[in-house]
Amino acid sequence: MTTIAAAVLPTRLRELREAIGMFRTDLAKRAGIPYSELVALESGTRKAPVEPELVAKLASVLKVSPGSLFESGTVPVKPSKAELKKEAVQKEKMAQQEAKLLHGRPPERRAGVVIAIPIKSITLIGSWRHEGEMLIPANHDSEIVIE
């Protein structure tokens, strides 16, 4: 193992373990190694070279290739099933709230923004002019009263 690979292993091992939410004790137990050896690996204080068999065991438990233990970079964190379910529930609640706001009407879209505000009446006070589809105040005394 090269010096660069040895320098990457402690950080990478910890990143991969934390990305799947595993504790050191669990990883050590599943890999069949003493807890103290795993701590020495993750902290970079292990003096002896890392055997290929140990790398293979750790990679197997972490469900990665042995080579990925020596690649620098961040680990993409996959959301858990509980997080995905929570996100789906939140999206459904937002869709229900939007449907209540719209009272069955489709939302109006302007420049990527959804505007959905139920109102009873709009009163324009002062002078206004049309510019395309927009209503523009003609002077500074113009007001909009929304109920």
Residues of the chain with CATH 1.10.260.40: 3-70
Q: Which CATH superfamily is domain 3-70 in?
A: lambda repressor-like DNA-binding domains (1.10.260.40)
User: Using an 8 Å Cβ cutoff, are 26 and 38 in contact?
Assistant: no
Residues 6+ apart with CB under 8 A from 29: none
Distance (Å, rounded) from C-alpha 31 to C-alpha 22?
12
The dihedral built from the CA positions of residue 50, 52, 54 and 60, taken in this order, carries a sign that is: positive
Secondary structure element (H or E) that encloses residue 124, with its range: strand 122-125
One pLDDT digit (tens) per residue for the chain, 147 residues = 444 456 778 888 888 888 888 999 999 999 999 999 999 988 888 877 888 899 899 999 998 888 888 877 655 556 667 778 888 888 888 777 776 666 655 555 555 555 556 666 777 777 777 777 677 777 777 777 766
Tokens read off for 110: 């302007």
* Cβ pair 98, 107 in contact under 8 A: yes
pLDDT the model gives residue 35? 92
